[in-house]
């Protein structure tokens, strides 16, 4: 298996994360990033995927072409950890999470991701690692992309 940090990126008009019926964080216009960390992922993968997310040109310019990045539009980024992205559904009907990095190992990598993305872009919010979260969003477009780190 080739580990590849996984991000599902959605362009949103707004997004909020609630934990135990209390809003943890919220953003307006920007992107929601669900992040899955697999066994073998590394700091290099974090840097690669962060750079990719920040430079993604998924926002409309004045000619309605997706030609602008998050920074170009002054948007915000919401990051939510989601180990289920690492689920393998090839066999049977119950996903296997053998590729997901165990929490004790993925938490430091997630923290490094949050630290790094915040050092590269100032408007970043997040959920809480391993919390049972409710995500509310208004998808804009809809625009949804799967971003994987390189091999």
pLDDT score of 150 more than 90: no
| pLDDT reported for residue 84 | 94
Domain boundaries, the chain: 6-139
Which of these is catalytic: 10, 34, 82, 113? 82
Fold of 6-139: 3.50.80
Distance CA 2, CA 144 (A): 23
The pTM for the full model equals 0.94
Supply the pLDDT for residue 4: 81
pLDDT reported for residue 151? 53
Q: What's the confidence (pLDDT) of residue 12?
A: 98
Residue 115: its pLDDT value, please? Answer: 97
Can 50 be counted among the known catalytic residues?
Answer: no
User: Does residue 77 surpass a pLDDT of 80?
Assistant: yes
Distance of CA 91 to the CA centre of its chain: 26
Q: Is the pLDDT of residue 145 over 80?
A: yes
Residue-wise pLDDT for 22-43, tens only, equals 999 999 999 999 999 999 999 9
Phi-psi region of 32 (alpha: psi -120 to 50; beta: other; left: phi over 0): beta
The CA-atom distances, in angstroms, between 126 and each of 4, 95, 119 are 21, 26, 14
pLDDT tens for each residue of 95-141: 999 999 999 999 999 999 999 999 999 999 999 999 999 999 999 99
Mean per-residue pLDDT over the chain, rounded: 95
Q: How much is the pLDDT for 56? A: 97
Check pLDDT > 80 for residue 1.
no
- Write down the catalytic residue from 50, 84, 123, 144: 84
For residue 143, the number of C-alpha atoms closer than 13 Å in the C-beta half-sphere is 19
Which of 34, 59, 83, 113 is the catalytic position? 83
Q: Is 82 a catalytic residue?
A: yes
């Amino acid at each position: 298996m080739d580990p590849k940090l996984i991000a599902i990126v959605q362009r949103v008009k707004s997004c909020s994360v609630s934990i135990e019926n209390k809003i943890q964080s919220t953003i307006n216009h920007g992107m929601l990033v669900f992040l899955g960390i697999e066994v073998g992922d590394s700091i290099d993968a974090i840097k690669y995927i962060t750079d990719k997310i920040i430079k993604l040109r998924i926002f409309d310019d004045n000619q309605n072409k997706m030609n602008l990045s998050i920074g170009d539009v002054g948007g915000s980024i919401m990051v939510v950890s989601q180990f289920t992205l690492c689920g393998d559904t090839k066999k049977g009907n119950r996903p296997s999470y053998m590729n997901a990095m165990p929490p004790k190992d993925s938490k430091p990598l997630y923290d490094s991701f949050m630290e790094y993305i915040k050092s590269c872009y100032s408007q970043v919010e997040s959920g809480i690692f391993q919390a049972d979260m409710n995500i509310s969003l208004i998808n804009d477009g809809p625009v949804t992309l799967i971003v994987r780190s390189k091999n």
